[in-house]
Each structure stands twice: as C-alpha cells, then as structure tokens.
Amino acid sequence: MGKARRSFAISIGVLLLGFMAIGFALVYRAMRDTPPPAMIESVVLPAGAEVVSALVSDGAINVTYGVGGVTTLALFDQATGEMTREVVIGE
C-alpha cells in the first residue's frame, strides 16, 4: 500500500509540474506578443526653447525647457502628443 501511495504522489507531482510549465509558457507568449505602447515622435515647444531634460513616465512625456530665463515643465500625452499640463518652475 505504501508503494502505491508513493507512486501516486510522484505521478501527481509530475502532472502538476507539467501544468505549471504550460502556464508559464502561455504567460510568456502573451507578454512577448503584446505590442509596445504607441508613442509620438516629436512634441511642439515654443520658439527658442532650450530643452533641459526629457523623460517618459506613466504614459506621459515630461519635458523641462527654458525660454528667456523661465524654466517650464510641460507634460505631453504619450500617445497623442497633446500638451496636458504646463508648470512654470522658476523665473
């Protein structure tokens, strides 16, 4: 009886490992085949603006620029390129 239990436990263990491998393979394929998020190629800044930094974060493009001694942070939508917010940092 003990030998049958041990054989059953090993069979169930191999079966569970197989199901886990199939699950990991499905998740990997789903994540690998997901297209990258849409991103614009350029944004429009005021004439004469000097870009200090640009960063992509949480679906937004954050651009810090200076014009005539005024430093401004502009937030653009990553998909459309539309300016969503503008904050003056320093003058």
pLDDT in tens, 19-41: 999 999 999 988 887 677 777 77
In a domain, 45, yes or no: no
Q: How far apart are CA 55 and CA 26, in angstroms?
A: 33
Looking at the fold, whether 28 and 54 belong to one and the same domain comes out as no
Q: Which domain holds residue 54?
A: 50-90
In a domain, 2, yes or no: yes
Q: What local confidence, expressed as pLDDT, does residue 80 receive?
A: 84
Amino acid at position 28, single letter: Y
Q: What local confidence, expressed as pLDDT, does residue 30 receive?
A: 84
Beta strands in the chain (DSSP E): 50-57, 60-67, 70-77, 83-90
Looking at the fold, whether 85 and 57 belong to one and the same domain comes out as yes
Q: What local confidence, expressed as pLDDT, does residue 15 receive?
A: 97
Q: How far apart are CA 62 and CA 76, in angstroms?
A: 6
Q: What local confidence, expressed as pLDDT, does residue 13 receive?
A: 95
In a domain, 66, yes or no: yes
In a domain, 39, yes or no: no
Looking at the fold, whether 56 and 26 belong to one and the same domain comes out as no
Q: What local confidence, expressed as pLDDT, does residue 14 receive?
A: 97
Asked if residues 62 and 55 have their Cβ atoms less than 8 Å apart, the reply is yes
Q: How many structural domains does the chain have?
A: 2
In a domain, 7, yes or no: yes
Closest by alpha carbon to 46, among 23, 21, 63? 63
Cβ atoms within 10 Å, residue 21? 10
Q: What local confidence, expressed as pLDDT, does residue 42 receive?
A: 80
In a domain, 80, yes or no: yes
In a domain, 3, yes or no: yes
Low-confidence stretches of the chain (pLDDT < 70) are 34
In a domain, 40, yes or no: no
**pTM higher than the cut 0.85:** no
Q: What local confidence, expressed as pLDDT, does residue 35 receive?
A: 75
